[in-house]
Amino acid sequence: MLGYTLKRLLQSVFTVLLIVTIVFLLLRLMPTDYYFTEDELIKLTDQQKLDRLQAAGLLDPPFTQLGRFYRQLFTKLDLGTSRRIQVNKPVVDLIAGKFSISMRLGLTALSVSLALGVALGVIQARFKDGLFDHIGTAYTIFINAVPPLVSYSLVLTFGARAFGLPSLYTMRKPGPSSILPIICLAMGSVAGYMLWTRRYMVDELNKDYIRLARLKGLSTGSIMFRHVLKNAFVPLAQYLPYSVLLTVGGSLLVERFFSVPGMGPLLTDAISRYDTNLVQAIVMMYASLGIAGVFLGDILMTLIDPRIHLGGKEAVR
Amino acid sequence: MSSEAAARIDGGAIDSRARQAAAQPILSARDVEVDFTLRGQRLKAIRRCSLDVYEGETLAIVGESGSGKSVFAKCFLGMLDKNGAVTGGTIMYGGRDLAKFTTEREWRSIRGKKIAMVTQDPMTSLNPLKKIGAQIREAIELHQGLHGSRARHEAVRMLDMVGIPDPERRYGQYPHEFSGGMRQRVVIAIAMACRPQILICDEPTTALDVTIQAQILQLVNALRRDHGMTIIYITHDLGVVAKVADRVAVMYAGQVVEVGLTAEVFFGADHPYTWALLGALPQLGVRGKGLPAIDGTPPNLFNKIIGDSFAPRNRKALNIDFIEEPPMFRVSPTHQAKTWLLDPRAPKLERPDSIRRLQSASIDQPTAEATGSAPREPLVEVKDMRVAFGSGRKRFVAVNDVSFTVYRGETFSLVGESGSGKTTIGRAILRVNPLANGEVLFKNRRISGKIDKALDLEVIRSMQMIFQDPMASLNERAKVDYIISEGLLNHRLYGDEAEREAKVRKALEEVGLLPEFSSRFPHEFSGGQRQRIGIARALVMEPEFIVADEPISALDVSIRAQALNLLNDLKRSHNLTYLFIAHDLSVVRFISDRIAVIHKGRIVEMAETEELFRHPLHPYTRALFSAAPSPNPDIERGKRLLAYDPAMHDYSSDKPVWNEIAPGHFVYGNQRELDGYARALGA
Amino acid sequence: MMAAANIKARTGMSEKQLFDFAAFRFQDAERTGYSEYSYWKSVWRNFVKKKSAVIMLGVFVVLFIFTFVAAAIGKYDVNNLRIVDSLMFTRPGGEFWFGTDNLGRDYWAQVWHATRTSIILAVSVSAGQILLGVIIGMMWGYVRKLDRLFTELYNLIDNIPTIIYMTLIALMIGKSYFIMACAIIGFGWLATARNVRNLVFMYRDREYNLASRCLGTKLWRILTKNILPYLISVIILRLALAIPGTIAYETTLAYLGLMDISTPSLGILLRNARSFFLDYPYLLVIPASIVSVITVTFYLVGNAFSDACDPRNHV
């Protein structure tokens, strides 16, 4: 168990480094102009630029630069400074300032949608083919079928017009101005949790052990709660750590839509403005979170499902 | 009833008959009808079926799949599938009519509390995420009203009662930590924890190995004796019936066609279907002769049944059988049969030979055909075969240093329980599983490992396989025509389209199927027919050697004899050699020339069939023999079960060897054991 | 005895004849309740029962044909739209049937052109994704040696939100329609491939495949004859669901500025409408309704089809 955990951990670190390396090398393919701030590009002469690049070692062969990058990362935990989004601010600080906003929104939305989604899914499964089941299914179809941009616009129009809620996020009033973004974040995942809870519960209900539970004389209610719900929740639980960790990354679309100054838009902004150090740092963050999420999910599975032992066959999610 | 059978009953079962005549049934089903809706059609699963259950007895309901035996029992518990419903008749129990129950609440007053059930597949019937103890406790808390430590104590006691060693520790374990047999014990413990009056066992041992099956049967018998329970035992296996039942009800096409005390049904059967069922048992066969097989295929419930449902398959059917359903005729106060043959106007038929053979206690020594001592030509040789799966620490050796030779024209059988590696050996010979060590020779040429293309093609053509599960071994989405000609297509073994079609037609006819079946899909066929399609697929390649991997174990009892006869006929007409893989010694005895017994990847004993049956030496072989069910209730009851524990061998200093202890008789053991075996042979 | 008398009257047989042995007919004994059941016929029958899906499918076909008609009957040609400041935000009316956008261009021509573009993009991208996914998934599932490789590749790509890859590609290679379509395909096959792989795992070791191997059947024939037929229903389902997925993904990419704005698609129109829709709702409502019709159609069709494919529903 311990040996396997270590092996998986090493593997994960390797994967992260692999991704970071690929991205790092890709970024070196871009024109060197992007290493300067917009101001500098105008003011500096070509010779000055060249000198600066030389001094910063940016004209060295890519692999030399890669070595230097990793040296700095491992010795000083230094990922460099932002050159464009916030000039000369260390990217670590820049990210630190933003991720808490995203995480707060994300975790709230996650807890709301988990509670609501599982509860509604249970009701759907319990009264399968009833009215509520059909309404729930219609809702999941609506959410999945209508592009998020359209449904967010609906929420925005309705929320702003009918309830007078702020249509943009402000740091001064984080409470009320978070409501619409959280609704938008949650309404999709509620549908997801509903759908899967219902599907897994219905699957479990058809299993042989449910027949034995009925044969014992248990009532439908206690079968639902004592047997079905827990078993149906197991496959859902595997994705929970992943979902929790990814809230750090924020939601690109929602944050852009409501102008939330979170992590979501940071990466696309960084890429579109060619802030290479920031891109590297964010890619690394996403990769680590993603891999850690899967890893923790597997660990969680071993804790709640006695049949699964780490070190067994690695499952593809 | 013949006088000798009557004598038997008078001698053996007079008490129970007298007791029963006086007793009132505790459960009485009258004219029960069950309808199912399937693909827009209604089919009758149970057709006006009646049965009484008496207190304290073990009643076996025997029938093949589709006979409605499980459905019938599920009616007593309101456990029919959603598309089925009881549409007629009454089921009186405890003064109430269960057939009138509609709500779950009503059924909960019966389920578990009064009638409990043990289901077929122990691997899936326990909740995988709940501890064993908790699952038993659930039943205890619900039905015995115990809670807390007293409930726990009772659960541990139940585990102990069903024979699970170290129950305290086992209480806290999960189902996946239990073997199949242990899980079935747990399921039985759960059923017992409900303290029911009636326990229904629905094929509780079908998914288990022979030796485990025997243990579970023993357990059920003991529970009944100690707790005075009534047991309804549903099975297709007449050996099981012989072992456990006081009374037997034979079901066919949704009806009970014959019911009586066990001895009455086994020795004095009156219904042609019961005759056929008993006669088709390979245990009663005579080697070298065909088994008296039942023709045709069990009725498909989609078709309307007129008259006697068994008539179309009955070579001695009367005209009236096709017109009018026979009534139940009373043969004795306890014995009834539903056949026009009992009508006073009907011609008198003698019971078939096999039934008489069953009555004479000599069935354990069928007359053996003298095996000729013609010079033997090795066809397939397996040398030091080792097959392993996985790698590193997870490496698992499935087959360990196995060597044997199959001679041309013989049937060589590998017998062992599930997981013994017998299937792996067959597949390794056919090069499906790679060898870790050793080699396989075919006509003195090595065919394992890398071989050239010409030999590869020759081997594919000359060695074919017949599979266990006729449901899984045919591609459902391909027509029979494609399935049979797949090998021909692969290697273009035909001149033109007409020749290919002719070959397919011929293969179908050879296995007793109609040529027009070639344009149909597999799902149109019954299990036995599908198995014959699988045989045709192998046959069309004109092989010399066939690996038959448990070819009859998934088939219905009435079909098994057909399949065995077919294999024997084909062997003669096509000059085939078989490697026959099986778990049931009694079947193997009928078909094989030589037998190898395999345990945990190693052959422990190998000899000619009759030699092995007369002088089983290895303790594992003897345990297998003792567990194999016999269809004679008298023999079955008197039998003592031998257990085999590999720990009995002490191989620490004295290393075991593979030794020819008598000409052609090999056994695996160390010197001390071999000396013992030799003494046993000499005695 | 009463019964026997009745039968005599009915069949004309004497009592003696009734109790004579009947001839044995082999064909009757082998009778197999030929149920006329065909898998695909049942799928079709069940699918047609879902009225909503069938109607929506009809609506969709009409809509797609109409995108060609609309261009012909419209007053303005989408390729010759002029920017006229004075006409901006003209509400729908006689001259401009769908009004004009923020630059005063005819919205009717743009909307229908965008609809056609989006449908073609969605269908071709989805088809590409599914095709690639099925091919890779089958190899992944059946050929044991490839399992490790594809599993690692899958985990590598799947661990990071694809939007990151899309951003990198859009900004480093280009955002033209062709490139973005390829990029969506390039990352979209993963889910299908994994799904197919898991299904192949289910079928791979079935005995009928073993039988094929014993008969010396080549890999491609096993894949196409033994495995693919079992996957068809899943493939069609995934295709149906991939279409709304692609449309939604395209709108997201357009919104994030990762799509080329020179060819209007529904995504681009929605993105443009984003800033003005509170005051000029028609700019959003028209393309949004069309998007919703398309996506809901394929969702209903996909789900109806998946239900129809489930043999348990063939009762």
Three-state SS letters, chain A: CHHHHHHHHHHHHHHHHHHHHHHHHHHCCCCHHHHCCHHHHHHCCHHHHHHHHHHHCCCCCHHHHHHHHHHHHHHHCCCCECCCCCCCCEHHHHHHHHHHHHHHHHHHHHHHHHHHHHHHHHHHHHCCCCHHHHHHHHHHHHHHHCCHHHHHHHHHHHHHHHHCCCCCCCCCCHHHHHHHHHHHHHHHHHHHHHHHHHHHHHHHHCCHHHHHHHHHCCCHHHHHHHHHHHHHHHHHHCCHHHHHHHHHHCCHHHHHHCCCCCCHHHHHHHHHCCCHHHHHHHHHHHHHHHHHHHHHHHHHHHHHCCCCCCCCCCCCC
Report pLDDT for B139: 92
- Which residues of chain A neighbour B127 with C-beta distances below 8 Å? 209, 213, 227, 231
pLDDT band at A96 (very low <50, low <70, confident <90, very high): confident
User: Nearest CA to CA, how far is A284 from chain C (Å)?
Assistant: 9
Question: Taking a C-beta distance cutoff of 8 angstroms, is the pair A250, B225 a contact?
Answer: no
Report if residue C35 sits inside a domain.
no
* Average pLDDT value for residue range C102-129: 88
What is the band of A313 on the pLDDT scale with cuts at 50, 70, 90? very low
**Window B:81-120, CB contacts with C under 8 Å:** 83
Nearest CA in chain C to A291: C159
Q: Average model confidence (pLDDT) for chain C? A: 82
Give the chain C residue whose CA is nearest to the CA of B342. C19
Q: Domain residues of chain B, as ranges? A: 3-16+55-86+198-359, 115-195, 378-593, 601-631+649-683
Which chain B residue lies closest to A233 (C-alpha atoms)? B129
Instruction: Identify the closest residue of chain B to C17 by CA–CA distance.
Output: B319
Q: Which residue in chain A is spatially nearest to B178 when comparing CA positions?
A: A307
Range in B135-144, B210-219, B400-409, B422-431 the model is least confident about: B210-219
* Yes or no, beta carbons of B472 and C214 under 8 Å apart: no
Determine the Cα–Cα distance for residues B115 and C252; give it in Å rounded to an integer: 60
Q: Residue C84 pLDDT > 80, yes or no?
A: no
Cα-based torsion angle of the residue sequence B512, B518, B520, B526 in order, rounded to the nearest 10 degrees: 20
Task: Report residue B374's pLDDT band, with 50, 70 and 90 as the boundaries.
Answer: low
> What is the C-alpha separation between C85 and C232, in angstroms, rounded?
53
How many other C-beta atoms are found inside a 10 Å radius of the C-beta of residue B495? 8
Q: pLDDT at position B683, please? A: 65
Q: Give me the pLDDT at residue C311, please.
A: 67
Residue C39 inside a domain? The answer is no
Of the candidate ranges A43-57, B601-615, C4-18, C189-203, the one whose mean pLDDT is the lowest? C4-18
Confidence of residue B570 (pLDDT cuts 50, 70, 90): very high
Would the CB atoms of A150 and C198 count as touching at under 8 Å? no
pLDDT of residue A317: 34
Domain with C272, as residue range(s), is: 124-313
Size of chain A, expressed as the number of residues it contains: 317
- Residue C103: pLDDT band (50, 70, 90) is confident
Q: Does A92 lie at the interface with B, CB-CB under 8 angstroms?
A: no
Chain B neighbours (≥3 Cβ pairs under 8 A) are A, C
pLDDT digit string (tens) for C27-37? Answer: 677 665 555 66
Q: CA nearest A220 in B: which residue?
A: B104
Contact B77, A215 (CB under 8 A): yes
Nearest to A291 among C159, C257, C303 (CB): C159
Other residues' Cβ atoms within 10 Å of the Cβ of residue A52: 15
pLDDT tens column, B518-539: 888 888 787 888 999 999 999 9
Query: Which of A209, A217, A234 lies at the smallest CB-CB distance from B111?
Result: A217
Q: Which residues contact B401 (CB under 8 A, 6 or more apart)?
A: B384, B385, B386, B437, B438, B602
Window 443-502 of B, Cβ < 8 Å to C:
456-457, 460, 463-465, 467-469, 472-478, 482, 486-487, 490-491
Q: Classify residue C36: in a domain, yes or no.
A: no
Is B43 within 8 Å of B66 (Cβ atoms)?
no
**Regarding beta strands B437-442 and B445-446, do their DSSP bridges make them parallel or antiparallel, or are they unpaired?**
antiparallel
Please state the rounded mean pLDDT for residues B372-398: 81
Residues of C whose CB is below 8 A from A142: 296
Check CB contact under 8 Å for A217 and B79: no
Looking at chain C, the whole-number percentage of residues with pLDDT higher than 90 is 12
The burial class, CB within 10 Å (0-12 / 13-18 / 19+), for B23 is middle
The three-class DSSP label of residue B309 is: coil
Name the minimum distance, in Å, from the CA of C14 to any CA of chain B: 10
Q: Which ranges constitute the DSSP H helices of B23-130?
A: 69-75, 104-108
| Residue B1, pLDDT score | 41
C-alpha C54/C-alpha C50 separation (Å) is: 7
Cα distance from C37 to chain B (closest Cα, Å)?
8
Q: A208 and B121: CB-CB below 8 Å?
A: yes
Q: How far apart are the first and last CA of chain B?
A: 42
- List all residues 6 or more positions away from C58 whose beta carbon is below 8 Å from its beta carbon: none
CA distance C63 to B557: 60
- Minimal C-alpha gap between B473 and chain C (Å): 4
Q: Which residue has the tokens 């095709």?
A: C131
CB atoms within 10 A of CB B235: 25
Whether residue A222 lies within 8 A of chain C, CB to CB, comes out as: no
pLDDT at B3: 44
- Interface contact A291, partner C, CB < 8 A: yes
Which one-letter DSSP state was computed for residue B470? T
* Helices A131-145 + C282-309 axis angle, to 10: 120
Cβ distance of C27 and B39 shorter than 8 Å:
no
How far does the CA of residue C16 sit from the closest CA of chain B (Å)? 8
B46 to chain C, closest Cα gap in Å: 17
User: Residue C233 is encoded by which pair of tokens?
Assistant: 């229903």
Using the Cβ of B321 and the Cβ atoms of chain C, whether some distance falls under 8 Å is answered with yes
Domain B378-593 indexed as CATH 3.40.50.300:
yes
Burial class (CB in 10 A: 0-12, 13-18, 19+), A180: buried
For chain A, which chains pass the contact test of at least 3 CB pairs under 8 Å? B, C
Distance of alpha carbon A122 from alpha carbon A64, whole angstroms: 57
Average pLDDT over residues A127-153: 85
Give which of C190, C298, C291 is closest to C236, Cα–Cα: C298
Q: What digits encode the pLDDT tens for the residues A150-199?
A: 888 888 888 887 887 777 787 777 778 888 999 999 998 899 899 889 88
> Given a cut of 70, is residue C314 above it in pLDDT?
no
Strand order in the sheet with B378-389: B396-407, B378-389, B437-442, B445-446
Residue in chain B closest to A307 (alpha carbons) equals B176
CB contact under 8 A, B317 and C21: yes
3-class SS at B246?
coil
CA dist A90 and A81 (Å) reads 4
Which CA distances in Å does B170 have to A142, B131, B167, B571, C61? 49, 9, 5, 50, 63
Q: Burial of A33 by CB count in 10 Å (0-12 exposed, 13-18 middle, 19+ buried)? A: exposed
> Does C168 sit within 8 Å of A147, measured CB to CB?
no
User: In the structure, what pLDDT confidence band is assigned to residue C8 with cuts at 50, 70 and 90?
Assistant: low
β-bridge partners, B411: B578
Residue A141: half-sphere exposure toward Cβ, Cα within 13 Å: 21
CA distance linking residue A195 with residue A200, whole number of Å: 9
Among B215-229, B498-512, B552-566, the range with the most confident prediction by mean pLDDT is: B498-512
Tokens of B283: 């245990």
**Residue in A15, A84, A143, A153 to test binding to C, most C beta-carbons within 10 Å:** A153
Longest dimension (CA), chain A: 87
Q: Is residue C78 part of a domain?
A: no
Report the gap between the CA of C221 and the closest CA in chain B (Å): 9
Put simply, whether A316 touches C (Cβ < 8 Å) is yes
Task: Supply the pTM of this predicted model.
Answer: 0.81
List, edge to edge, every strand of the sheet that includes B230-235: B115-118, B198-202, B230-235, B58-62, B247-252, B255-261, B335-337, B329-332
Residue B313 touches partner C, C-beta closer than 8 Å: yes
In A, minimum Cα distance to B136 occurs at A216
Chain B residues in contact with A215 (beta carbon < 8 A): 77, 79, 111-112, 116-117, 119, 191
Q: How many CA atoms lie within 13 A of B671 on its CB side?
A: 4
Angle, helices C144-158 vs A276-304, to 10°: value is 120
- For residue C218, the chain B residues in CB contact (below 8 A) are 490
What digits encode the pLDDT tens for the residues B176-189? 888 888 899 999 99
Asked if the C-beta of B518 comes within 8 angstroms of chain C's C-beta atoms, the answer is no
Burial tier of B221 (Cβ tally within 10 Å: 0-12, 13-18, 19+): middle
Residues of B with CB under 8 A from a CB of A: 77, 79, 104, 108, 111-113, 116-117, 119, 121, 124-130, 138-139, 142-143, 174, 176, 187, 190-191, 194
Q: How far is CA B547 from CA B291, B577, B598, C98, in A?
A: 22, 9, 16, 74
- Side by side, the strands of the sheet bearing B96-97 are B41-54, B25-38, B84-93, B96-97
Model confidence over C151-175: pLDDT tens digits?
888 877 777 677 777 877 887 787 8
- CB-based burial of residue B514 (10 Å sphere; 0-12 exposed, 13-18 middle, 19+ buried)? middle
Question: What is the enclosing helix (H) or strand (E) of B222?
Answer: helix B210-227
Considering only residues B49 and A28, tell me which one the structure prediction assigns the higher pLDDT: B49
Q: How many CB pairs under 8 A join A and C?
A: 112
Q: For C131, what's the count of Cα atoms within 13 Å in the CB-facing half-sphere?
A: 7
Task: Give tens-digit pLDDT for A71-81.
Answer: 888 887 777 77
Q: What is the count of structural domains for chain C?
A: 1
Query: Is C229's CB within 8 Å of B472's CB?
Result: no
According to CATH, what is the number of the domain B3-16+55-86+198-359?
A: 3.40.50.300
CB contact under 8 A, C274 and A30: no
Instruction: Give the distance from residue C299's alpha carbon to the nearest chain B alpha carbon, in angstroms.
Output: 26
- The answer to whether the beta carbons of residues B47 and B254 sit under 8 Å apart is yes
Average pLDDT over residues C186-202: 89
Most confident option among B26-35, B235-244, B521-530: B26-35
pLDDT at B11: 40
CA distance readout (Å), B599 to B549, B602, B648 = 16, 5, 14
Residue B223: other Cβ atoms inside 10 A? 19
Contact B142 A307 (CB under 8 A): no
CB contact under 8 A, B124 and A214: no
For C294: left if phi > 0, alpha if psi spans -120 to 50, otherwise beta; the answer is: alpha
Instruction: Inspect the interface and report whether the beta carbons of C210 and B490 lie closer than 8 Å.
Output: no
Q: What pairs with residue B382 in β-bridges?
A: B404, B440
Residue C313 pLDDT greater than 70, yes or no: no
The residue with tokens 């630069």 is A65
Q: B130 with A212: CB under 8 angstroms?
A: no
Chain C nearest C-alpha distance from B40 (Å): 5
φ/ψ of residue B457, rounded to 5? -65, -40
Give the CATH number of the domain where residue C181 resides.
1.10.3720.10
Q: Flag the least confident range among A31-45, B572-586, C231-245.
A: A31-45
Partners of B402 in the beta sheet? B385
Q: How many residues does chain C have?
A: 315
The pLDDT of residue B393 is: 64
Lowest mean per-residue pLDDT among B76-90, C215-229, C296-310? C296-310
Report if residue C76 sits inside a domain: no
When scoring B125, B131, B199 by the number of chain A Cβ atoms within 10 A, the one with the most, hence best to mutate, is B125
In the 8-state DSSP scheme, what is residue B8? Answer: H
The whole-number average pLDDT for the span B572-596 is 89
Cross-chain Cβ contact C172/A30 below 8 Å: yes
- Checking if the pLDDT of B367 tops 70, the result is no
Do residues B296 and C28 touch, judged by C-beta distance below 8 A? yes
CB B247 within 8 A of CB B324: no
